[in-house]
Amino acid sequence: MGQSEHISSPATESHLGACHPSHQVLFEPVQIGPVVAPNRFYQVPHASGMTETNPRVRAAFRETKAEGGWGVVSTGAVSIHPSSDDSPLPFARLWNDADIASHALSTEAIHRHGSLAAVELWHGGAAVMNRTSRLPPLSPSGISWAATHVGFMGQLRPKKMTGADIDEVLHWQRLATRRALDAGFDILYVYAGMGYLGYEFLLPEYNHRDDGYGGSLENRVRFVREMLEVTRDEAGSRAAVALRISLEELRGKVSDHYESEAHGVVDLLSDVPDLWDVKMDSSPTDCGASRFRPEGAHEPIIDFVKRMTDRPVVGVGRFTSPDTMVSQIRRGVLDLIGGARASIADPFLPTKIREGNSDAIRECIGCNICIASWHDGVPVRCTQNATAGEEWRRGWHPEKFAKTASPESVLIVGGGPAGLEAALVAAKQGFEVTIAEQTDEWGGRVQAETQLPGLATWRRVRDYRVWALSQMGNVSMYTNSELDADAALSLGTDHIAIATGARWSKRLYSALEIPSEPLDLPQLFTPEDVFTGAVSGDRVLVFDYDNYYLGGVIAEHLATLGKQTHYATPAGHASAWTFMTNELPFVYQALSRSGVNLHTTTNLMRFDGTHAQLQNLFNAEPIELNVDAIVIVGHREPRDALYQSLISSAEGAAHPSISLVGDALAPGAIVHAVYSGHSFARGLVETETIYLRDEPVVPAKPLRVFPQ
- Left, alpha or beta for 398 (phi > 0: left; psi -120 to 50: alpha)? alpha
Q: Which amino acid is at 285?
A: T
pTM higher than the cut 0.75:
yes
Rounded-to-integer distance, Cα 616 and Cα 603, Å: 6
What is the predicted pLDDT for the residue at 678?
98
DSSP summary character for residue 44: -
pLDDT tier, 707 (very low <50, low <70, confident <90, very high otherwise): low
Rounded-to-integer distance, Cα 476 and Cα 596, Å: 45
In a domain, residue 693? The reply is: no
CATH of the domain at 671: 3.40.50.720
Q: Do 355 and 209 share a structural domain?
A: yes
Rounded-to-integer distance, Cα 661 and Cα 574, Å: 30
Question: Is the confidence at residue 420, as pLDDT, over 90?
Answer: yes
Catalytic center residues: 196
Coil vs helix vs strand at 462: helix
In a domain, residue 121? The reply is: yes
What is the predicted pLDDT for the residue at 316?
97
Q: pLDDT by residue (tens digit) across 652-676?
A: 667 899 999 999 999 999 999 999 9
Q: Which residues contact 369 (CB under 8 A, 6 or more apart)?
A: 381, 382, 383, 581, 669, 671
Q: Do 256 and 313 share a structural domain?
A: yes
In a domain, residue 34? The reply is: no
Question: Is the confidence at residue 4, as pLDDT, over 90?
Answer: no
Q: Do 631 and 655 share a structural domain?
A: no
- Could you write out the DSSP letters of every residue in 433-448? EEEE-SSSSS-THHHH
Last residue of a domain, one of 376, 398, 421: 376
Question: Is the confidence at residue 11, as pLDDT, over 50?
Answer: no
Q: Do 541 and 645 share a structural domain?
A: no
- Could you write out the DSSP letters of every residue in 549-565? HHHHHHHHHHHHTT-EE
In a domain, residue 18? The reply is: no
State yes or no: cis peptide before 527, omega within 30 of 0.
Answer: no
Q: pLDDT by residue (tens digit) across 556-582?
A: 999 999 999 999 999 999 999 999 999
Question: Is the confidence at residue 9, as pLDDT, over 90?
Answer: no
pLDDT tier, 703 (very low <50, low <70, confident <90, very high otherwise): confident
Say what percent of the chain tops pLDDT 70: 97
Question: Is the confidence at residue 78, as pLDDT, over 90?
Answer: yes
Strands of 198-326, DSSP E = 240-246, 275-279, 313-315
In a domain, residue 9? The reply is: no
Q: Do 572 and 489 share a structural domain?
A: no
Distances (CA, A) of 318 to 44, 365, 457, 526, 587: 11, 9, 12, 33, 20
CATH of the domain at 127: 3.20.20.70
Q: Do 670 and 563 share a structural domain?
A: no
Q: Do 492 and 367 share a structural domain?
A: no
Number of domains forming the structure of the chain? 3
Last residue of a domain, one of 618, 637, 656: 637
Q: pLDDT by residue (tens digit) across 327-379?
A: 999 999 999 999 999 999 999 999 999 999 999 999 999 999 999 999 999 99
What is the predicted pLDDT for the residue at 698?
84
256-294 residues labelled b (16+ CB within 10 A) or e (exposed): eebebbbbbbbbbbeebbbbbbbbbbbbbbbbbbbbbbe
pLDDT tier, 628 (very low <50, low <70, confident <90, very high otherwise): very high
90-94, 145-149, 221-225: least confidently modelled range: 145-149
- Left, alpha or beta for 301 (phi > 0: left; psi -120 to 50: alpha)? alpha
69, 66, 83, 57: which is closest to 27 by C-alpha? 69
Q: pLDDT by residue (tens digit) across 428-471?
A: 999 999 999 999 999 999 999 999 999 999 999 999 999 999 99
Rounded-to-integer distance, Cα 443 and Cα 445, Å: 6
- Could you write out the DSSP letters of every residue in 333-382? S-SEEEESHHHHH-TTHHHHHHTT-GGG--------HHHHHHHHTS----
Q: Which amino acid is at 434?
A: T
Rounded-to-integer distance, Cα 632 and Cα 607, Å: 12
pLDDT tier, 16 (very low <50, low <70, confident <90, very high otherwise): very low
In a domain, residue 581? The reply is: yes
DSSP summary character for residue 125: G
CA 542, chain centre distance (Å):
27
In a domain, residue 150? The reply is: yes
Domain extent, residue 150, equals: 39-376
In a domain, residue 515? The reply is: yes
What is the predicted pLDDT for the residue at 511?
87
Q: Please give the average per-residue pLDDT across 618-624, as a whole number.
A: 95
- Left, alpha or beta for 18 (phi > 0: left; psi -120 to 50: alpha)? beta
Q: Please give the average per-residue pLDDT across 96-109, as a whole number.
A: 96
Rounded-to-integer distance, Cα 625 and Cα 570, Å: 16
Q: Is-contact 71 115, C-beta < 8 A?
A: yes
Rounded-to-integer distance, Cα 484 and Cα 655, Å: 15
Q: Which residues contact 45 (CB under 8 A, 6 or more apart)?
A: 74, 75, 76, 77, 118, 120, 189, 244, 277, 340
148-152, 273-277, 556-560: least confidently modelled range: 148-152
Neighbours of 164 (CB within 10 A): 8
CATH of the domain at 526: 3.50.50.60
690, 419, 449, 629: which is closest to 557 by C-alpha? 449
Question: Is the confidence at residue 387, as pLDDT, over 50?
Answer: yes
Strands of 519-585, DSSP E = 524-525, 539-544, 564-568
Q: Do 632 and 565 share a structural domain?
A: yes
Q: Do 188 and 248 share a structural domain?
A: yes
What is the predicted pLDDT for the residue at 588?
98
Q: Do 317 and 243 share a structural domain?
A: yes
Question: Is the confidence at residue 604, as pLDDT, over 80?
Answer: yes
What is the predicted pLDDT for the residue at 124?
97
Q: Do 288 and 427 share a structural domain?
A: no
Q: Is-contact 561 601, C-beta < 8 A?
A: no
Q: Do 514 and 492 share a structural domain?
A: no
Rounded-to-integer distance, Cα 583 and Cα 543, Å: 19
